[in-house]
Structure 1
Amino acid sequence: MKKVKIHFLGASGTVTGSKYYLETPEQNIMVDCGMFQGLKELREQNWQPLPIDASKIDVVLLTHGHLDHTGYLPRLVKEGFHGKIIGTAPTLAITSIILRDSAKIHEEDAERANAEGYSKHHPALPFYNIKEAEKAIDLFQYGEKDEWIELSENIRFKFRYNGHIIGATFIELDIFGKVFVFSGDIGRKEDVLLSPPEHPKWADYLFMESTYGNKLHPKEDVEEILVTLIKETIHQKGNLIIPSFAVERLQSLMYVLWKLYKKNRIPNIPIFIDSPMGNNVLSVFENNTDWHKLPIDECRAMCNHFNIITSYRDTWKTIDDTRFKVVIAGSGMVTGGRVLTYLKQLIDIPTTTVLLVGFQAEGTRGRQLLEGAHEIKLFGKYIPVKAKIEHFESLSAHADQEELLYWLSNIENIPEKVFLIHGEPLALDAFRVKIKDTFGWQVQIPKLNDTVEVMV
């Protein structure tokens, strides 16, 4: 028997910062390498050195490209990692876009904080810069899905299609004949752009996300909600601001709005897409047509319909544009990006509507707005919230509790251990009980920086 030591370095007891480190007799493997977002005490974890030796990691396997699964990679390299970073082709393309964009935002935020003097740190430093992001990107290696990839004599892994975002997978990791399954983030059975997730058939050790482990997504008519909000925006001569995740959510929103326009359900209202990262993601869709359902001609026609903003100067032109309009801008949880500039100027105006369209993590501005905050802090200043705040979850890229259970339903064996990860405490505990009642499996909820030893 061999021993595998598992370190839970992120998304354990919380929903962000996914990082799992496996020490094995042949290879040291990290699955995902994400940044913490949300609560200040979580964000501060990003600045702490990892409790492991990064130089001893042989390989990083990526389930998908979101920042909370990839955003720590430049810091990992800075701490001494020099191995391979393996993901599917779309995942590596998305991760490259996200890391470069994130580095640019870190640099701009530090520069602005130093210029305006609102940081407690003197000088304020970027979490990482573009040069450091490029060093991580240089280590990328492409892995084909549905094929076993050998890491050593007794260790291999396979990427399996998982919906959620383009390129996303769950990972089957075979270590000395035992199968470790890392769910990554699981997508929806019915998605605007993506096919349903595939299912694992065997898992000796299962690492299972539980973002919506205690919830069912409401049965909302997304098209009807958007039609109503756009009509209200026109009537009030106001602005509809939609903070959006640049990957998948932005493209889904564009596609729904494009269909509504083609069906004459909404007029030709000006719609601005202000997400440099999101614009770059559109090219990933064009280059990876076997990973999504959107025909390439539809994709191009859709893009031509919208006002796609490329420069920060045009952001200000859009804000100064007195016409009623829709603006879709990053980021989805209002933690950074172009949407902050719009909100600073428009959220204190009653004719503004802010539509939140996905999960809002604890400690984010999106969660504050969702919970009725009367003011939010933007660029070091408190801005009163007079805008109308709306929210729907039907375009969520995350499976709900029912869909998570369905994803588990094809597993033929009883896993030796199930670890619930990537969830807030209430969701984790509710899903633990649900799994036990449904399958009879014993479930463990690891805390941040816990270590567990298993035998293979």
Structure 2
Amino acid sequence: MDKHVKVSFLGASNVVTGSKFLIETSEKNIMIDCGMFQGLKELRELNWEDLPVDVSGIDVVLLTHGHLDHVGYLPRLVKQGFNGKIIGTEPTLAIAEIILNDSAKIHEEEAKKANDEKYTKHNPALPFYTVAEAEKTIRMFEVEMPGKWITLSEHISYRFQYNGHILGATFIELDINSKRFVFSGDIGRTDDYLLEDPKRPEWADFLFIESTYGNKLHPEEDVDQILADIIVETLHKNGNLVIPSFAVERLQTLMFILWKLYQKNKIPNIPIFVDSPMGNNVLEVFRRFPKWHKLSESDYNAMCNHVTIIESYKDTWKTIDDKRSKIIIAGSGMVTGGRVLTYLDHLIEDASTTVLLVGYQAEGTRGRQLFDGAYEIKFSGKYHPVKATIKHLDSLSAHADQNELLHWMSDIKNIPEKVYLIHGEPAALDAFRVKIKDTYHWNVCIPKISDVEDINI
């Protein structure tokens, strides 16, 4: 085998989203993740550009997990000529299928609405990809088990390893000519409500590690008490609590916590509405794969029965018209789209409303604007004054913080030749770089989008 390996950083480099890393060798060309950029406009615009590589020459895509910023670019990759296998764990591919189908429908609906209401600069506005393109991509999915080495070619093999974060998530160990490349994907928390602790790598010659919270420690918050206080305050104001939520994991975690709070008599029986078609589908994935999470069948059924799951857009409007104080959990988690915008259209200008942000809010998203104290936000072509109370819970994040990231690396027995910090904003990346150098004395670098690394193995 030619001992030359070329790594192209096509996303999630000096930014959090758009995860795409291409490893080119003389035997196989492998892409790790294939996600969409989210957040800042200049990043979102990158989604519309073809990748600066020979897409038809990529043999396989390995997915760490099913989030949009790790799988959402797949239909565009196929459109550009990719015709290989897309491989992940069974829950990852089940979630990716839900996310791609849901995203395609949203892309089509938003393009149609923009054209009908004429609030687009494009003539016509086009969907990023269609349902048909998503379905073509899904037919290329292939399941592999975690914990098992899979041979790709004579000198290349890979293994998925359980990583917490969301259902099905893994880190990827890729052995190329006896050198180990480790891609962390997104690393989960220890002592998670629903998931087991992440496994940890024991060897890494080249380590590619996420750094979303590389400069932060999650606060030691009493989540139960904070949520209970917010709910009681909402009832006193005769208002509504709106929780924008990621459909995968966060929504199910919130359902579980709220059910437990009621069970412990910490909150009254306030109506709870879950309005996320994608989230409802992910609930079914939890039911299908009980070995991937900690919920018992009875707990799963009880938490589902404790909430009202919205099935149709008609029921969304019934919920808005419902005059009772209530909790509304709706996608999307960074307020970038989805059903939550329908609720905010009617409730964000009401001082009795509380909006609770749970988890990371990327730069350029409406969630970040609200987190930063914006007095107005724009969606559906108009500005909305923010009169609602905005609150934030950081400890429900599904990402490891700085200490947990260092702990995840602590079982590596060798000294990596190089550590690449990915999936982070500049401040987080630089702080984590310094921390790793001070803690482990490893060689650390921070690649940027479009950087190419030539590695001799």
Equivalent residue number for residue 80 of structure 2: 79
| Superposition deviation, residue 46 in structure 1 | 0.1
Equivalent residue number for residue 148 of structure 2: 147
- Partners of 1:6 and 1:296 in 2: CA distance: 44
Equivalent residue number for residue 124 of structure 1: 125
Equivalent residue number for residue 100 of structure 2: 99
- Partners of 2:247 and 2:280 in 1: CA distance: 8
Aligned length: 456
SS for the counterpart of 2:47 is helix
Instruction: Output one character per residue of 1:133-170: Cα deviation in whole Å (capped at 9) or x when no partner.
Output: 00110000001000001111111000000000000000
| Superposition deviation, residue 28 in structure 1 | 0.4
Equivalent residue number for residue 291 of structure 1: 292
Letter in 2 for 1:217: H
Equivalent residue number for residue 218 of structure 1: 219
Equivalent residue number for residue 21 of structure 2: 20
Equivalent residue number for residue 207 of structure 1: 208
Equivalent residue number for residue 393 of structure 2: 392
Which segment is superposed worse, 27-36 or 228-237? Answer: 228-237
Matched, 1:245 2:242: no
| Superposition deviation, residue 296 in structure 1 | 1.4
| Superposition deviation, residue 455 in structure 1 | 1.3
Which segment is superposed worse, 261-270 or 90-99? Answer: 261-270
Q: How do 1:418-429 and structure 2 match up within 5 A?
A: 418-429=419-430
| Superposition deviation, residue 190 in structure 1 | 1.4
Equivalent residue number for residue 156 of structure 1: 157
Letter in 2 for 1:163: G
**Where does structure 1 lack aligned partners over 5 or more consecutive residues?**
none
| Superposition deviation, residue 350 in structure 1 | 0.2
Instruction: Output one character per residue of 1:160-191: Cα deviation in whole Å (capped at 9) or x when no partner.
Output: 00000000000000011100000000000110
Q: How do 1:18-97 and structure 2 match up within 5 A?
A: 18-97=19-98
**Where does structure 2 lack aligned partners over 5 or more consecutive residues?**
none
| Superposition deviation, residue 301 in structure 1 | 1.5
SS for the counterpart of 1:127 is coil
Q: How do 1:44-443 and structure 2 match up within 5 A?
A: 44-443=45-444
TM-score by length of 2: 0.99
Letter in 2 for 1:193: L
Letter in 2 for 1:226: L
- Partners of 2:426 and 2:175 in 1: CA distance: 30
- Partners of 2:129 and 2:160 in 1: CA distance: 29
| Superposition deviation, residue 302 in structure 1 | 1.0
Instruction: Output one character per residue of 1:315-370: Cα deviation in whole Å (capped at 9) or x when no partner.
Output: 11111111110000000000011001101111000000000000000000000000
SS for the counterpart of 1:101 is helix
| Superposition deviation, residue 263 in structure 1 | 1.1
SS for the counterpart of 1:377 is strand
Instruction: Output one character per residue of 1:109-140: Cα deviation in whole Å (capped at 9) or x when no partner.
Output: 11111111111111111100110000110000
- Partners of 1:427 and 1:420 in 2: CA distance: 10
- Partners of 2:298 and 2:79 in 1: CA distance: 42
SS for the counterpart of 1:47 is coil
Letter in 1 for 2:293: H
| Superposition deviation, residue 300 in structure 1 | 1.1
- Partners of 1:116 and 1:296 in 2: CA distance: 46
Instruction: Output one character per residue of 1:424-447: Cα deviation in whole Å (capped at 9) or x when no partner.
Output: 000000000000000000101000
SS for the counterpart of 1:141 is strand
RMSD: 0.6
- Partners of 2:238 and 2:189 in 1: CA distance: 36
- Partners of 2:117 and 2:377 in 1: CA distance: 18
Identity %: 70
TM-score by length of 1: 0.99
Equivalent residue number for residue 452 of structure 1: 453
- Partners of 2:84 and 2:136 in 1: CA distance: 12
Structure 1: which 4+ aligned runs deviate by more than 6 Å? Answer: none
| Superposition deviation, residue 20 in structure 1 | 0.1
- Partners of 1:449 and 1:118 in 2: CA distance: 33
SS for the counterpart of 1:433 is helix
- Partners of 1:413 and 1:201 in 2: CA distance: 8
- Partners of 1:296 and 1:100 in 2: CA distance: 27
- Partners of 2:302 and 2:240 in 1: CA distance: 25
Letter in 1 for 2:366: R
Instruction: Output one character per residue of 1:217-236: Cα deviation in whole Å (capped at 9) or x when no partner.
Output: 00111111111111111111
Instruction: Output one character per residue of 1:34-56: Cα deviation in whole Å (capped at 9) or x when no partner.
Output: 00000000000000010001111
- Partners of 1:135 and 1:156 in 2: CA distance: 27
SS for the counterpart of 2:123 is coil
